[in-house]
Structure 1
Amino acid sequence: MTDDSRPAPPRDRTAAVIPAAGRGVRLGPGAPKALRTLNGMPMFIHAARALAASRSVTLVVVVAPPDGAPEVKSLLDTYALPANAPGEGWGSADFLVVPGGDNRQESVRRGLEALPQDIDIVLVHDAARPLVPVETVDAVIGAVRAGAPAVVPALPLADTVKEIAPAAPGDPEPVVATPERARLRAVQTPQGFDRATLLRAHENAPVDGEGATDDAGLVERLGEPVVLVPGHEEAFKVTRPLDLVLAEAVLARRRVNDGY
């Protein structure tokens, strides 16, 4: 006789993979970009907190620099795990650290290999986007749950974009086309995927050069649909020193307005 009073097993379990192994040379010399501090805390910790704030996320996998997994684990223990409690703006996510590869594509693949079998939805999030709001995370998850195999948050472009032809270093670049701005979007992360689709995309991806930098692009190569949900202006990527200044300003505003 079965006990029908037992709760049904959870459905659509979601994990997040945060590749944090890049050097970030445009930020200047120093530690890997994800380990640079923002408001006194490593940038990848902010990103991990942003993903764990969603109550739908049950696991956050941080992919560390190849030789930096112990340091990343220690930083997570210091900054993230003790705060993972009700009332702190966190969900109930667990954390896992795995060593990364030589490029982003390899690092994401290693993160995928570390996922438990019961994960159905996978988010891939840039460690350099530390301020993504939880509403954006939830919107991506919701769209995957609704049936989309791949979902990307995106914003309309504010600037006109020009397509150019290759030119010698230092020479003026010839313009060959002006794409229609209304049909263009600037994509952000987290990108969300049906797990089986993302695994198949990585299994079929070529391994050459610097590898793929956009997981949704790998899904597109399969011929599977990719859909967009609205992104957020605070989910910008910290790439240059000025971006750090802007990120600090956003955090200062959040502390005043939200007590973040």
Structure 2
Amino acid sequence: MAAQVARIPFAILSLNESFPHVDIITQLAEITAFDIHIDAGTDVTAEVMHKAKVIVKVLESLKGNPDISEEMIATAHDRVSALQQARITTMTPDQGAGFTAAQMQQLQGIVQPLRDEIHGLRDEMREDMRGLRDEMHEEMQSLKFRLDNNETAQRNKLLLESRPAALECRKKQVPGDGLNLCQQLGVAVGANPGNPLLGSKFRDEIDTGNLTAADISGMIRFYNETFGIVAGDQLYQRRIKVSNWLCNLPPSRNV
């Protein structure tokens, strides 16, 4: 019985071809000798397999290097998987499993779109994971600032007894601009806060007794919160509600 001959039914690009924007020859010299283009119909010899595996091993050891992307490492793994699949699916010529050139071309036409689709799905999943990670990070930040604000509110309650007009400002804990809130409340639109970061403050201290309508509208935009203010509230009512908000007191207290 003739020995098994495993042949790759489609071409496999080298990493240098797949990532032309990366100067692999100079930046990743340790894999240059192993990074070969594999033509369709190439025998999957031990040497070919060894070269593909060496690239994976080297790239895995360089994780964290800014020149090594996750996509590059994944592609290196895909190259090894393709060679392994060729070995698994190839039978001996005596068993009639040798590929003709036409068959290899046909297989490549079937497999390549599947590979492209898989890569696309993988990219979408990575993007979704990055989005989820960013959302979780933002939520954790918001939680931290809410806890910080509880401490600020406790200090402000004590300040009310000694100097009620000057209260410590809270940190921004809700992302976004409160422009829509101003419009919904029918109050003058405050100055554009310029996309303030979570954890930032409108001011260090607020003299609630002297807040103007513009000041309060600016705070609504900055914090993206209403402080319990409703449409039709007079200026003195808004001032009280801002003061209550700074102390974690019910909005209607003393209104």
TM-score tier (shorter):
under 0.3
| More helix by percentage | 2
The structure with the largest strand share of the pair is 1
Structure having greater relative contact order (Cα 8 Å, sep ≥ 6) = 1
* Larger radius of gyration between Structure 1 and Structure 2: 2
User: How high is the TM-score relative to the length of structure 1?
Assistant: 0.20
